[in-house]
Each structure stands twice: as structure tokens, then as C-alpha cells.
Amino acid sequence: MSAAVSIETGVLDEYRARLGADAVDELVTSDGLRSDQAALGAAVNAMGMGGLQAARAEARTFASDEGVTYGTERRGSRNWAIDPIPVLIGAAEWQALETGLRRRANLLDLVLTDVYGERNLMRRRVIPPEVILGHDGYIRQTDGIGAPGRRQLVVAATDLGRDATGQWTVISDRTQAPSGPGYAMATRRIISRVMAGLHRSTPLARLRGFFQTFSASLQDASPTATEPPRVVLLTPGPGSETAFEQAYLATLLGFPLVEADDLVMQKGKVWLRAGDRLEEVDVILRRVDAAYSDPLELRGDSQLGIPGLIEAARTRNVAVVNPVGAGVLENPGLVAHLNAAARALLGEDLALPMPPTWWCGDDASRSHVLANLGHLVLKPISRSSGPLRYGWLLTAAERADLAAAIAAEPWAWCGQEPMQLSTAPVVTRSGLEPRRFVLRTFGVAHDDDYHYLPGGLGRVAARVGEYTVSNFTGALAKDVWVISSEADQPSVGRARRLGLPPVTRAYGLSPRVADNLYWMGRYAERAEGTARLLKVVDDFAEDNSSRTGTPGARATEILLDAVAWVTVTGAIRHDESSLTYLRRAVLDATRTGTVRHCANQVTNAAQHVRDLLSVDTWSVIGRLQQTLAETPDDDDQLQPVLADVLESLLALAGIMAQSMVRDESWAFLDAGCRMERAQMTLALLARTVTADRGREVDDLVVEGVLRAGESIITHRRRAAAGTGPTVALESAVDLLLLDRVNPRSVLYQAESLAADLSLLGDEASAARALRLSNELGEVDIADLLRPDRLAVRLAALEQEFRGLSDDLAARHFLRQAPRRAQTSGWGNPWQVTDGD
């Protein structure tokens, strides 16, 4: 810790008074500010608690708007919580820390290589075999598999904390499938806006270069000479706690996010399903836990992995990063033996200290642990054995039970001296509070060394006095700033094998991705079309609900019936008013077809393709969801809700139309919009304008239909100018069915669909859509307006569009069947013989 400087009276003076006499803090000391924290301290004091609390609220708003989340619906998903005060690390301090981290990563790589290779460390009992073989991260099926690159451990993450002396100390390593670098960048993006002035004036080491190096590191891991290698990020899916981070990381790296359904194993190789073709995969960045990664070799019930992945890695047909089995390095039992391993492999001790740790498989160490249960942290070496225990928090009975468990399986336990951990200020409603602080650092292997993200991801405990700093317990994120001189340059990875000419390799869309894009487009359009219709019908109901027997009341009944038919929300109940029914059609999330249900489906589909969408998409979706979650006090306030819903949906449509490259992603999304608009328009026309109910009623109904179809102004303008029909029914059929230049007409949707399908290379479906548009273009409206003809034609057209949608699904959205493990009837391998 650096020397202190004086501190002016203000919020930090009050904060310092809350610290204990021997506390170590990231910002202040008992005498004032740390010397390298002067600018930050001045900014915090200048903002005062009012400004800091406003910054805290702004950070929460940005996280919500950008859809930065952690957790699952089942376990309680929440927006990513960020404290606005960054943690600063000086340039010299970070350089020393990074040097220690590199040495540690190099050692862990050597240990991993030895554990799954020659096993000299275990043979010589530098590391007792029980520590490795008794850990659930040791995957026997991967024994002898060496990654094709020079490193086995490609991605290394280490959790650090300051001890009571202010020295950075290792808490644990994360090597199985480390999470967090994406969250670090997302946190930086938000804090750079919340603390914009301070961020601009502080010379910081930038983060972007790390992700460029990360991308190059993954390409270096490829076992093939293909240029560039095809790299994918394998995710468990949107149900993962860190789903946002995985998608964001894929975006930062420029590689596609894939699920198991997107990949197949053929001829011993992994292939990406891209439409009607397969594309070979060279490198998989794995975010699926090891046990689930290969249902053929490991957990047979897994739907998250790829059958045969381990064998493909063994035959060097694909590289898996980090390799299946790297989780063995997360073993806390290793901590007691790592310095011995460092001396054996590197001829030196590790630079970064670790808390004194005793592995209970050793008799003397076990005796020490059992004698000191009351003040040690007790850790099972495998996470599957349960959480760590703080001995001083256990009752006498609980300590006795724990002692018995250690005596029964001593190799499975270790005891560790507790760390004090430094604190960092957290903005709360009652002022600044000191919370325990943990820093997670991230390194990637590239060329001859490991390269680290400057700073990493900081986290502070959810509550004052909380010992565990974990996302599971509600920890808050901290942006970590590393001070850098202007001369410092970011670490950027070189391109691989520069002597070879580069080959462009575009990534195709898997059926899962195409399906979700298509249905995201459909549900977005369905939500918009439903909201427009409900807005019109709500106007009618408000004007005519008390005027029983009038043409307006009859027109309202017809339009209410159309709502039930077009949106499939169900008919109005006998015991509810029309306004209550319309409110339900907007806000009921449990009923299919409501606006809120459609909005939820948009969100669900978008989560599956998050890596393909602009970050602005999430602020729009978040605003849409917030609007629908804020239930109005009474039915009379439905119009403002619908107006806000339409505003969000129009913003979403604008992002799609103006921000997306016209590639396959856009084509599937737009095709979904066009298909839904065509089918909704046909259903609305079929339910409203195909029966004769009297001129006065029909005129009102048709006016409502034109308003719902955003064509009423065009009808009136054309009628007044003599360029269009004066009869409302004829104008509605013309504008909403046959008008080639009206973006709301069915003919326009058919022509747009043909263009989308041509872009996809689906010429058969494109030709079908084009035939449909040509037939519509040749329709004689006078012949069509005969009541018996219009209903038949609309039904036929609706059937045509449904058939076209079914063809699309069959051609592009076919998923793989769920996998089921087939178990052998043999009980033991020696029962299998080569003889007859």
C-alpha cells in the first residue's frame, strides 16, 4: 500500500470513520487518502452523496437498458449491479502484480500438462496423487490428450485479495471455463459514462487490446493449417447464469456463439450446421462445464455437449479451450503444494503469496486443522462436496460433524488461514459503506507468455461484514482502473502464419439461430400489429360501450370479435367489460397472443441470438418490458400504455431496418416480420370485411381496419384527390391487399419475402413467394369485391402463406433430435471378449 495524502472533509472523511483501526482499504488509509488515489478521492468528495447516489442510479439504468444480467429465471435473474466508484491500481503496482500472475499461469500450465501427461509430480509426491485423483475436475477420459498449441492452459483467471499487510494474495484460480472478461468490459462501458469527466482525465490502460490478443490466442490453438481457423464459443444457452457475458464475449472476439444443437460430429470432426451445409470447426472456446461437454464419454444425460468431442480432441481434429479436465487446477488442495511444484518445475517459489493451507490427507496437517477448526476456513477440494465453511461461524455440534467428515475422508478436505481482505467504498442510501473487495484477473496464452486484461473485474460483498464475495450472494461489480502512461500500448495479438494468404470464411447461421431470428421478427410484428388493433378497438369501446344498439356499438362488437380471432387471446367473457377484456389482451403475460406475451417471446428469441444484435436492441426491449410491467391503475389508462408500447416496437423496427447489414441474419428477421404482417392482415380482413352488415356499420368497421393497418390517411388523401376509391371497403381491400407501394399490404409482404428468400439462397421458396405476389398483382379488384369471392380468396391466401412458412421451417429450422445415451448391458469391461 502506498503512502497516504491528506483528505478534505467530506463524504470520504465520514467513510474513513467507519473503518476499523486495522482495516486495509482500496481508497483511504487511517491518515487520509492513498497517494495514488488523490484524483479519485477529490472527484468522490466533489460529487457528494447526492451525486454519488445519482451515479449509482444511472449505472443501474444503463445496465438495465443494455440488458446486462446475471443469473437464471429459476435461480433469480437480476440486472448486473455496479457500484459507480472505480478501484484504481497504480502502474508500478499492476506491473508487479502482472509479473506474478504470469509466473503463476505458466506454473499452472506446466502442472496441467504433467497431470494429464507423464505425471512426474504425482510419482514423486510433489503433489500427492490423492489431491488430483480425488478431485471431481480430474477427467480420466482426457488422460494423454495434449492440446495442439504450446500451452494446455489457454485462459487463466485468478481471484485476488489484499491481506492484512496490504499485499495482493491469491484466493483461488478459475481454469475450468473462466467467466468475467465480458462483464469487465460491460462494466467499463457503463462507468466510463457514469464517471465521464474522471474517466476522460485519467490515463488508463485500455481493455480492447486484450480481446484482440484473446482472439489471436484462440486462433493459435487451432490444430489445422486453415487460415483463418474457424473458432466458436460453445454456450449452455440463455439459461446459463452468465448468458449475457458469453454472448457479449463472442461479440468482442468476433466469433459465433453456438449451442450443442448447432454442432454435429462427422468423420471424427466437429462441424457447424449452417443452413444446408456443414462448416468444419477448428477451435471451441468452451463455456459448458466439463462433465456436460461430451455425453458419449461423460454424462450421458447431457444435452449441452457434443458426443465424441473428447475423441475429436484426442485425434487433434479440434482444439478445446480450456481443455476438458482443466478444472482440476481449481482444486484448493493444490494450494498447499504449489510452491513445491514451482520449485520442482521452475526452480523458484511463486511470486504471489497464498494463504497458509493444510491438506488433511497429510497426518500432521490434519492434526493441525482438527485442532484449529474454530478459526480456519474449511474447504472441500471438490465443489461437488459442498460449500466452504467458516469454522468460527459453526456451532459446537457443526464443528463435531465437520471433524467426523474430515476424519472419514481426510484427502477430500483442506484448512486455510482466513484472509482479512481489503475493503472498498460502496455507495448506499445511508452513505459510503466499506465492503470486502476481490479482484478477478484474466490472462490468455499468446506467443511465449500470458497477457492480462489490465485490472480485471472487481467485486465487492453484497453486505457489510459479508465474508463471501460472490455473484451468487449478490456481489456488486467494480470497474478496475489501471493507471498507464500515454506511451503504453495495448497488447495486440499478431495474425497467425502471416506467410499464408488469408482466406475469407464467413460463418453461416445454424438452424437454431435462423429459427430464433425468424420468430423474433414474427413476434415483434405480432406485438406491434396487436397493439395497433387494440388501440383502435379501445377507442371504439370507449366511445360506444354505453350506446347499446347503435351502429357504433355493433362495429365495436365486430372489432372485439376480430381481436379474439386475429390475436388468439380468447373471446370476451360474459362477466367482463370490453375495456377490461382489452386490458387483459395487452397485459396478461399468461395468455397466448397478448401484447405482453408477444413481447416476452421477442425477448426470449433475442436472448438466443444476443451476439448478433446491436446493444441498442436491449435498451428498447428493456423499455418495452418495463412499460408492460407497470400495470396502469385503471382501464382508462390503456391508451398511453399502448402508445408507449408502439414507440418501443417502432424503435426496434428502426434498429432492424437501419442498423443491420443485409445478410442472412437480417433476411430471416425481416422474413419473419413480413410473414406475420401478411397473415395478420389477411386474418383481420377475413374477420371484418367479408360480410354485409349494413352500410353504416360496415363503414365504421372498415375505418377501424384502415386505422389498424396504418392506411387511413392514405385512403382519405386518395379519395379526396380522386386517385383512389371513395368507397371505404374497396379502398381497404386495395390498400391492405393489392397495393404494391403500401408497406402494409399483403402484396408488398409477398414481394419482400421473395427478396429475403433470394438473399438466403432459397430459390425454391423465393420462387413460391414471387408467384404469390404475381398472382396478387393480377387480381381484378372489382371481381374480388363480390362477397362470396373475397372470403374464399382471403382464406386461400392465408393458406398459401402458412404453407410457405412451413416450407421455410422444413428447409432452415430443423433441429437435432434430443440425444439419449445407450448403455451397455455389460457390467464390467473384462466381460467383453473378442471371441464369438
What is the tens place of the pLDDT at every residue in 178-196?
A: 999 999 999 999 999 999 9
Q: Which amino acid is at 298?
A: L
Give yes or no for residue 830 having a pLDDT over 80: no
Q: Is residue 747 part of a domain?
A: yes
| Domain boundary residue, one of 366, 391, 418 | 418
Tell me which of 145 and 31 has the higher pLDDT: 145
- The terminus-to-terminus CA distance of the chain in angstroms comes to 74
What secondary structure does DSSP assign to 414-467, as a single string?
EEEPPP---EEEEEETTEEEEEEEEEEEEEEEETTEEEE-SS-EEEE-SSTT--
| pLDDT band at 148; cut points 50, 70, 90 | confident
Compute the residue count for the chain.
Answer: 836
Q: Is residue 748 part of a domain?
A: yes
| Average pLDDT estimate for 790-799 | 94
| Among 641, 398, 674, CA closest to 526 | 674
Residue 306 Ramachandran class (φ > 0 left, ψ -120 to 50 alpha, else beta): beta
Residues 765 and 643 in one domain: yes
Residues 529 and 408 in one domain: no
Q: H helices within 568-694, ranges in order?
A: 578-587, 595-608, 615-629, 638-659, 664-688
In degrees, rounded to 5, the angle at the alpha carbon of residue 368 between the alpha carbons of residues 367 and 369 is 90
**Within 10 Å of residue 560's Cβ, how many Cβ atoms?**
19
The top-scoring range by mean pLDDT among 22-26, 170-174, 275-279, 617-621 is 170-174
The answer to whether the CB of 44 falls within 8 A of the CB of 59 is: no
Q: Is residue 94 part of a domain?
A: no
Average pLDDT over the chain, rounded to an integer: 90
For helices 615-629 and 595-608, the axis angle rounded to 10 degrees is: 150
What is the DSSP code (8-state) at residue 381?
S
What secondary structure does DSSP assign to 659-679, as a single string?
HS-TTHHHHHHHHHHHHHHHH
CA dist 453 and 480 (Å) reads: 10
Give yes or no for residue 746 having a pLDDT over 60: yes
Residues 540 and 407 in one domain: no
Q: Are strands 389-390 and 377-380 parallel, antiparallel or unpaired?
A: antiparallel
Give yes or no for residue 502 having a pLDDT over 50: no
Q: Is residue 341 part of a domain?
A: no
For residue 322, whether the previous peptide bond is cis, meaning omega lies within 30 degrees of 0, is yes
pLDDT digits (tens, 9 = 90+) for 321-364: 999 999 999 999 999 999 999 999 999 999 999 999 999 999 99
**Which range has the worst mean pLDDT, 375-379, 392-396, 628-632, 728-732?**
628-632
| Domain boundary residue, one of 418, 447, 463 | 418
Give yes or no for residue 733 having a pLDDT over 80: yes
pLDDT on residue 73: 62
Give yes or no for residue 6 having a pLDDT over 70: no
CA dist 175 and 104 (Å) reads: 12
Coil, helix or strand at residue 836: coil
Q: Is residue 343 part of a domain?
A: no
Residues 407 and 515 in one domain: no
CA dist 66 and 344 (Å) reads: 48
Residues 574 and 720 in one domain: yes
Give yes or no for residue 488 having a pLDDT over 60: no
Residue 316 Ramachandran class (φ > 0 left, ψ -120 to 50 alpha, else beta): left
- Tell me the residue range of the domain where 386 lies: 356-418
Record the cell numbers describing residue 628, joined without a space: 408492460
pTM: 0.89
| pLDDT band at 632; cut points 50, 70, 90 | confident
Q: Is the dihedral of CA 252, 253, 254, 257 positive or negative?
A: negative
CA dist 777 and 421 (Å) reads: 74
Give the whole-number percent of the chain exceeding pLDDT 70: 93
pLDDT digits (tens, 9 = 90+) for 402-433: 999 999 999 999 999 999 899 999 999 999 99
The answer to whether the CB of 572 falls within 8 A of the CB of 564 is: yes
Residues 402 and 539 in one domain: no
Number of domains forming the structure of the chain: 2
The answer to whether the CB of 521 falls within 8 A of the CB of 660 is: no
Q: Is residue 687 part of a domain?
A: yes
What secondary structure does DSSP assign to 531-560, as a single string?
HHHHHHHHHHHHHHTT-TTSHHHHHHHHHH
CA dist 506 and 614 (Å) reads: 19
pLDDT on residue 833: 32
pLDDT on residue 485: 64
Q: Is residue 189 part of a domain?
A: no
pLDDT on residue 178: 95
Question: Which residue is associated with the grid cell 436491449?
Answer: 618
Question: Which residue is associated with the grid cell 481454469?
Answer: 175
Residues 694 and 568 in one domain: yes
The CATH number given to whatever domain includes residue 413 is 3.30.1490.270
pLDDT on residue 9: 55
Give yes or no for residue 620 having a pLDDT over 80: yes
| Domain boundary residue, one of 367, 394, 418 | 418
Buried b (16+ CB within 10 A) or exposed e, 286-301: bbbbbbbbbbbbbbee
The answer to whether the CB of 372 falls within 8 A of the CB of 361 is: no
CA dist 600 and 588 (Å) reads: 11
Kindly give, in sequence order, each residue whose CB lies less than 8 Å from that of residue 216, ignoring residues fewer than 6 positions away.
446, 492, 493, 494, 495, 496
CA dist 693 and 709 (Å) reads: 21
CA dist 362 and 417 (Å) reads: 17
Record the cell numbers describing residue 657, joined without a space: 431496418
For residue 228, whether the previous peptide bond is cis, meaning omega lies within 30 degrees of 0, is yes
**Which range has the worst mean pLDDT, 119-123, 191-195, 493-497, 589-593?**
493-497
Residues 583 and 727 in one domain: yes
The answer to whether the CB of 337 falls within 8 A of the CB of 125 is: no
Q: Which long-range contacts (CB under 8 A, 24 or more apart) does 712-715 make?
A: 714/742
Q: Is residue 634 part of a domain?
A: yes
Residues 517 and 664 in one domain: yes
Residues 520 and 399 in one domain: no
| Among 382, 173, 171, CA closest to 291 | 382
Q: H helices within 304-410, ranges in order?
A: 309-314, 338-345, 363-371, 396-408
| pLDDT band at 4; cut points 50, 70, 90 | low
Record the cell numbers describing residue 116, joined without a space: 494429464
Give me the residues paired with residue 568 across strands: none
What is the DSSP code (8-state) at residue 387?
-
pLDDT on residue 381: 95
